[in-house]
Amino acid sequence: MQAKVPKFIDIEDKVIFGLTWRQFFFLGVGSGAGVLAFSVLVQPLGTTVAVVTTAIGAVFALVKINNRPMHVFMYSLWNYFFNPRRFVWQKEEPRRQKTKVMKKEAPKAAPKAVTAERLKQLAVLLDIKGRKSSDTNV
């Protein structure tokens, strides 16, 4: 069984007067703000604000830059200027803080007096260890 796959999924549907929902929304908001400003504000100021808001709504609805809608372009422009990024060519090693290392001095012990008996004991120990290591190597 075959199913029909839509070919143009990135194209918005034309809904009202050949406009998409997004375009109709921006034109409606711009025109509504213009009508409100024209009726509420004094005449020369109200007319100016009404023309400007209607023009801004029309620009957001109909103008595309680099095949992107105006609101996406303005969002990208906002992020570019207010969320700057830092691109680094070569990453620097983090700087380490130099700390002073205090060397601990070992407590000085009084040297043991070397007696004849102690020398004999050490000689016997060295002989025994020497014999054990030579026996295991053979």
Spatial contact of 54 and 38, defined as CB atoms under 8 Å apart:
no
Task: Answer yes or no: is pLDDT of 135 > 70.
Answer: no
Task: Answer yes or no: is pLDDT of 136 > 70.
Answer: no
- pLDDT at site 138: 42
Confidence at 124, pLDDT banded by 50, 70, 90: confident
Spatial contact of 53 and 34, defined as CB atoms under 8 Å apart:
yes
The ranges assigned to domains in the chain are 21-82
What percent of the chain is predicted at pLDDT more than 70?
A: 88
Find the farthest-apart pair of alpha carbons in the chain and give their distance in angstroms, rounded.
120
- pLDDT at site 131: 65
Q: What's the pTM value of the predicted model, to 2 decimals?
A: 0.54
For residue 75, give both structure tokens. 């969002």
Instruction: State the DSSP code for 90.
Output: S
- Distance between CA atoms of 55 and 37, rounded to whole angstroms? 13
